[in-house]
Structure 1
Amino acid sequence: MPTRSAAVLASGTTNAAKLFIAALAFTSAYVGFSAYSSAGSAAVSSGPATTITLAAREVPVTEEITTAPVAGEVTVNTLADGQAGCVKSYVARSLLINPDPTQGVSYRWRLTRWSPATKTWRTYLSDHDGTAAAEETVQWRLRVTGNPGWYRVELKVQGAEPIKSDRFQVTC
């Protein structure tokens, strides 16, 4: 029996040694490859270093909106955000008067698009918010991307009828 136990122990030790050597070989290959790829990616200098100075100028992202919002009306202004193609940004504004300033009021914005097929205004985008102020100018910034057509913005204040903007056309 002692010979059989010794043979099993010797073969187990041999297997463990083989696994250990294989792990060392793999780790060495990985480290060598990593060092090689890092060394190969270094930039080769072809001359003296050149200093480059970058300059930037500040460009306003939006147009200045000079009209004051009016309660019961939604105004929509186009923003000049410098996007090319069929990407248009807008800001919808209104004056919200809370009849009970001790309570908060929630409201919902909705951008609707005219569907010539169904001859109805269909929801395109929506957002919601709330305020606890007695009077507040509320605004919603929205973007229409690659979808020309007729749109309008609706503001629905909790407990009141929706207020709709004039329709506007998005063109590319």
Structure 2
Amino acid sequence: MSTRSAAVLASGTANAAKMFVAALAFTSAYVGFSAYSNASSAPEPVRTVTLSARELPITAPAQASTTVPAAAKAGEVIVSILAGGEAGCAKSYVARSVVTAQSPAQTVSYGWRLARWSAATKTWRTYIVNYDGFAGGSETVEWRPRVSGNPGWYRVELRVGDAKVVKSDRFQVSC
């Protein structure tokens, strides 16, 4: 029986040695291939992209605000650029409108939306939003959005409760 055990032990050791050599060969091949692929990788060449733009006519350019604010009316949003000497593409605007509550005891909630025209989707997409409100009566409401480094066509929209959205004329932000 001892010769049979010795034979099984010898063949098991031989199999283990073969498995060890195979694992070692696989590991060294993997490491060698990884080193080769890393060494042969070169940076991609620089690609030059030329952008083109289509010019649209200005329907209502934003006017610089002076000390007298633009007169606001119910059912219309007026947008003016704030004079302040901000450098580059950083521009602040003021949007005004008149909001009237249906009754003096009613609370009014409203929301502003600065929308930017997307030429890719041919839709107005939300750029900035702001929500506010007041209690009863009638108020001239204003919002001061800031556009920084993103030239394009914009408009301001005002939604009061469930009423129809009031939109300003579009205006262009440029550097």
Counterparts of 1:81 and 1:66 in 2: how far apart (Å)?
14
Counting aligned pairs with the same residue, the percent is 61
Q: How many Å separate the matches in 2 of 1:64 and 1:167?
A: 23
CA deviations 1:96-145 (Å, max 9, x no partner) are 11112211010000000000000000000000000113110000011100
User: Are 1:158 and 2:150 matched, yes or no?
Assistant: no
2:122 to 119, 122, 127: 119
**TM-score scaled by length of structure 1:** 0.62
Match runs of 1:1-172 below 5 Å: 63-172=66-175
1:63, distance to aligned residue in structure 2 (A): 2.8
Contact 2:103 2:136 in 1 (8 A): no
**Gaps in structure 1 of 5+ consecutive residues:** 1-61
Runs of 4+ in 1 over 3 A off after TM superposition: none
C-alpha displacement of 1:81 = 1.4
Counterpart of 1:99, as a letter, is Q
Q: RMSD of aligned C-alpha atoms?
A: 1.1
Query: How far is the alpha carbon of 1:67 from its aligned partner?
Result: 2.8
Tell me, yes or no, if the aligned pair for 2:108 and 2:134 is still in contact at 8 Å: yes
Q: Which runs of 5+ in 2 are unaligned?
A: 1-64
Cα distance in 1 between the residues matched to 2:74 and 2:141: 10
Contact kept? 2:70, 2:78, Cα under 8 Å? no
What is the rounded CA distance, in whole Å, between the counterparts of 1:64 and 1:158 in structure 2? 31
Q: Distance in 1 between matches of 2:161 and 2:122?
A: 27
TM, length-normalised to structure 2: 0.61
